[in-house]
Structure 1
Amino acid sequence: MVGSRTLTAVVGLLVSLLLTAALWWYFDTLLVFLFLPFVPFLFRGLGGDDGPTIVQECPHCGFQATSDAYDYCPRDGSRLESTDR
């Protein structure tokens, strides 16, 4: 049985190849292959995500956790404190 991650990767690859072939056929040039790798950079700022939100911080070393999965600092074992960010 194929896992969902593998299936998603295969479908993404097939869609990407079909889109590349369609653009190559439409523009009738191989230059499409030079510009396609840069398409994700065009849409990079549209996500609206400013980065991970710091949830907890170590008072001693400054380690910052972005999820509630950490209760203690992996560096020195101190209990993490919640932040207001």
Structure 2
Amino acid sequence: IIAYSSLVPLSTWRTAEGHDSAKTEKMKADSSAEASPFRAMAEKYGVSEAQLLLRWALEKGYAVLPKSTKEARMKQNIDLFSF
């Protein structure tokens, strides 16, 4: 399934000079921390951190709009209820 949304243009933040990531420096540091609680939970269930957080959001009733251009990640985004 491919869906288009006008909520956010795809990857326009990358067109600005010097922007190679949408993450802030603090977000980069936090996500690379060895003791990340999300990393520990994802490893426990054998899934990615993204899958863990997407499932949490769905269980809480939030609308989620995952996006990826990578086939493997698209499959992960669909496979949220196998764990």
Pick the TM interval, shorter chain: under 0.3
User: Scaled by the length of structure 1, what TM-score is found?
Assistant: 0.26
Answer with 1 or 2: which has the greater Rg: 1
Normalized per residue, the structure richer in strand is 1
State the TM-score, normalized to the length of structure 2. Answer: 0.26
